Amino acid sequence: MPEAPNDARADPDDELLPAVAAGDARACASLVDRHADRVHGLASRLLGDATEADDVSQEVFIAAWKHAGRWRPGGSARFSTWLTRVTLNACRDRLRTRRPSAPVDVLESLPGDIGPERRTLEAERVTRVRAALEELPPRQREALVLCHYQGLRQDEAAAAMELSVDALESLLARARRALRTKLAGDPA
């Protein structure tokens, strides 16, 4: 496990991790509350399956609980970066062994206050984007999801993927080009 950051931005998880390592249920719950949406969102976007994302999230937080005692403040990465890396690795493992599955029902994720015609068009657009994302090479898809959907800064995404920022920028540029090509003619 990497050590915590050695910069002016203190890692907010540094205070929780000793308590998590000691088995403090409140600290564990606080750590999960703080990171669950991000971990689950990343897994869901990479896997396209909410049930699998639930399983990956559970695996990630079990790993966090098991490794919390080894965390040392003052290193090169934030704890959240380590969690992102663990999530990426768990998703990669699942994708390697995956069989094709039915697409996720996108209608449930759309706002309820739009009309039926717009709702159908939006569902079709979301489905096309998801399909195009799934066709990208895994590293390009990961870079795009981390930066555009998860909202990570490029330096955070690069650290999570164990890349230089330049390499991440290259992946993002290739991913954007590929998506533009795949989505050419999208009516939305």
Whole-angstrom Cα distance, residue 123 to residue 164? Answer: 36
Q: Which tokens go with 138?
A: 């895994």
Q: Domain boundary at 68, 102, 136, which? A: 102
Q: What pTM was computed for the model?
A: 0.67
| Weakest mean pLDDT among 21-30, 105-114, 130-139 | 105-114
Whole-angstrom Cα distance, residue 56 to residue 87? Answer: 7
For residue 160, the domain's CATH number is: 1.10.10.10
Domain count, the chain: 2
60 lies in the same domain as 83: yes
153 lies in the same domain as 86: no
> What is the domain extent for residue 128?
109-188
Q: Where are the alpha helices (DSSP H) in 5-78?
A: 17-21, 25-47, 50-67
Q: Which tokens go with 150?
A: 């998860």
Tell me: the pLDDT tens digits for 112-171? 566 677 767 777 777 788 888 888 898 999 998 899 888 888 998 998 899 999 999 999
Provide CB contacts within 8 A for 178, sequence distance 6+.
Answer: 132, 135, 136, 140
